[in-house]
């Protein structure tokens, strides 16, 4: 059997194992290592030249924008889909945020290296942000994983680059600046992957600490913005949300107050079903977290609308209070099938089947983030899968569409580096870095793709807006 942890002939030198060879242990690498991942990555360039990533082939099978939006609304709460459409119709960037499935259809027709990673599936520029770790310190990383799945790393990178072009345009930046933001995003991804490939694995896993991120990506123009976002994030807590969204009951507890359409109380039976599902949720947590939750009592449940792409899915907030009456709010959010899966299949990939969609989301998040919410788990309510997480655990985010022109490319570099770190947890960075290489051929190609896809998204957005104006699609604007 193959060895693990010792070189050929090591046993002959004696030691604790009496000269015997250790058996190969499943789940660990073989030793000596077989092959050279960096060279394998380089060899892939012959099959998929990096310049080909500029290609965008929108064939006749592509659904029109209105049809795609209507299809993505299937299975959602019907009375809420007009809010989702209204949010998507706001801007082209907002349309992109709500159309991960449509972009996956398009990406399935682009060149792919076939190198797989745990991908976000919705890695647009607004899905990065700050949140608190277990000790209340702020970290920055990807923060939305509804579509996460095992897939081609290029899909995340192309979606991120295209989103930077759209955000830049919305911010009023000129075309050169927008294209440069996409170019810099890819360059930061490529250089970060090369850095991680050179480090010992343990060092690479946690590399680029938050305090090093700005200097690593030369994003100094963002410092003021990040400081302002961090200041707001520190105050964005369960306590503050509960103070604004709940009232005291006659028994000394607290309950949510209706704030339609975003927050509304639910019938007792519905609230009881959500509360009862927390028993299953507890079984998905590490046992050391259980005493923390055991010191809280469940007081109320409400329905709360979230996001852009998520509008129309079932999402609840659960109010828990400790012995002092201090609140902890959990979000119980419906986990639908990843919108990427059918398009991965059509592109010849074989994504593993999810035994529970909430579990898929949670495990995908843990695989991609350096630090995750300590209360992440999953459950089932009335036969539907849900993810569970802390609500308002010091979350804060940069609005990429509100950045100044000189900050857009800084933000692109920062998010590109974070995406590379997230992918490196599941894909060997040596393999990806070998393919990406030292020069800017990939940067130029994906920047060209990003501009072309931004143009396509603007046309899709215009088609949706026209359908709303003509009354063909119901939309509730400004909600």
Distance CA 384, CA 313 (A): 11
Residue 75 lies in a domain: yes
Q: Which domain holds residue 8?
A: 1-34
Residues 421 and 455 in one domain: yes
Name the packing angle between helices 429-436 and 175-198 (round to 10°).
130
Mean pLDDT of 343-349: 97
Distance CA 307, CA 314 (A): 12
Tokens standing for residue 152: 């081609």
Distance CA 271, CA 76 (A): 19
Contact 103, 389 (CB under 8 A): no
Contact 392, 241 (CB under 8 A): yes
pLDDT of residue 234: 94
pLDDT for 111 beyond 90 = yes
pLDDT for 2 beyond 50 = no
Residues 71 and 167 in one domain: yes
Residues 28 and 174 in one domain: no
pLDDT-derived band at 17 (thresholds 50, 70, 90) equals very low
Name the residue among 68, 121, 124 with its Cα closest to residue 453.
Answer: 124
Residues 118 and 11 in one domain: no
pLDDT-derived band at 60 (thresholds 50, 70, 90) equals confident
Residue 226 lies in a domain: no
Lowest mean pLDDT among 4-8, 77-81, 340-344, 462-466: 4-8
Mean pLDDT of 380-399: 95
Residues 80 and 30 in one domain: no
Residues 23 and 117 in one domain: no
Residue 308 lies in a domain: no
Residues 128 and 188 in one domain: yes
Phi, psi of 157 (to 5 degrees): -65, -40
Strands 263-265 and 254-256: unpaired
Q: Is 137 helix (H, G, I), strand (E, B) or coil?
A: coil
Residues 53 and 195 in one domain: yes
pLDDT of residue 13: 37
Residue 57 lies in a domain: yes
Residue 351 lies in a domain: no
Residue 382 lies in a domain: no
What's the angle, vertex CA 425, arms to CA 424 and CA 427, rounded to 5? 55
Residue 264 lies in a domain: no
Residues 122 and 144 in one domain: yes
| Residue carrying structure tokens 């215009």 | 462
pLDDT of residue 208: 85
Residues 25 and 143 in one domain: no
Residues 158 and 54 in one domain: yes
pLDDT of residue 20: 53
Please give the tally of structural domains in the chain: 2
Digit-coded pLDDT (tens) for 423-457: 999 999 999 999 999 999 999 999 999 999 999 99
pLDDT for 349 beyond 70 = yes
Percent of the chain with pLDDT over 90: 86
Residues 2 and 147 in one domain: no
Digit-coded pLDDT (tens) for 366-382: 999 999 999 999 999 99
Name the residue among 37, 157, 123 with its Cα closest to residue 433.
Answer: 37
Strands 384-390 and 315-321: unpaired
> Containing H/E element for 155?
helix 153-171
Where does 95-224 show beta strands of DSSP type E?
A: 116-119, 128-132, 138-142, 149-152
pLDDT of residue 5: 31
| Mean of pLDDT over the chain | 93
Residue 267 lies in a domain: no
> Containing H/E element for 441?
helix 441-469
What's the angle, vertex CA 417, arms to CA 412 and CA 419, rounded to 5? 95
């Amino acid at each position: 059997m193959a060895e693990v942890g010792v070189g050929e002939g090591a046993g002959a030198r004696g030691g604790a194992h009496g000269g015997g060879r250790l058996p190969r242990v499943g789940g660990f690498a073989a030793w000596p290592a077989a092959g050279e991942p960096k060279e394998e990555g380089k060899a892939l360039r012959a099959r998929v030249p990096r310049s080909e990533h500029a290609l965008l082939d929108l064939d006749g099978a592509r659904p029109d924008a209105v049809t795609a939006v209507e299809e993505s609304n299937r299975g959602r709460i019907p009375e809420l889909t007009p809010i989702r459409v209204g949010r998507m119709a706001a801007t082209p960037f907002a349309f992109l945020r709500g159309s991960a499935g449509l972009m996956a259809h398009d990406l399935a027709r682009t060149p792919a290296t076939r190198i797989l990673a745990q991908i976000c599936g919705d890695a647009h520029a607004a899905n990065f942000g700050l949140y608190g770790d277990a000790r209340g310190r702020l970290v920055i990383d990807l923060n939305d994983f509804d579509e996460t799945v095992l897939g081609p790393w290029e899909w995340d990178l192309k979606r991120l680059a295209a989103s930077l072009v759209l955000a830049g345009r919305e911010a009023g930046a000129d075309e050169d600046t927008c294209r440069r933001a996409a170019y810099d995003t890819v360059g930061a991804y490529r250089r970060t992957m090369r850095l991680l490939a050179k480090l010992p694995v343990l060092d690479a896993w946690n590399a680029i600490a938050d305090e090093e991120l700005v200097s690593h990506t030369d994003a100094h123009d963002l410092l003021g913005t990040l400081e302002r976002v961090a200041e707001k994030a520190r105050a964005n807590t369960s306590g503050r949300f509960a103070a604004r969204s709940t009232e005291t009951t006659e028994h000394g507890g607290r309950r949510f107050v209706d704030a339609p359409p975003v927050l509304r109380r639910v019938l007792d039976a519905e609230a009881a079903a959500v509360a009862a599902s927390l028993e299953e949720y507890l079984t998905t947590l590490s046992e050391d977290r259980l005493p923390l939750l055991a010191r809280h009592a469940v007081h109320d449940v409400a329905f709360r609308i979230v996001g852009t792409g998520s509008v129309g899915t079932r999402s609840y907030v659960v109010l828990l209070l400790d012995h002092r009456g201090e609140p902890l709010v959990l979000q119980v959010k419906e986990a639908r099938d990843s919108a990427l899966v059918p398009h991965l299949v059509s592109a010849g990939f074989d994504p593993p089947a999810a035994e529970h969609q909430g579990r898929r989301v949670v495990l995908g998040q843990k695989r991609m983030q350096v630090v995750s919410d300590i209360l992440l788990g999953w459950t089932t309510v009335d036969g539907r899968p849900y993810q569970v997480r802390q609500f308002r655990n010091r979350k804060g985010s940069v609005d990429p569409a509100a950045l100044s022109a000189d900050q857009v490319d800084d933000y692109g570099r920062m998010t590109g580096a974070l995406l590379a770190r997230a992918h490196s947890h599941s894909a060997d960075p040596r393999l990806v870095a070998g393919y990406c290489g030292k020069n800017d051929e990939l940067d130029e190609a994906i920047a060209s793709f990003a501009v072309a896809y931004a143009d396509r998204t603007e046309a899709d957005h215009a088609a949706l807006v026209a359908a709303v104006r003509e009354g063909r699609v119901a939309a509730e604007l400004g909600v």
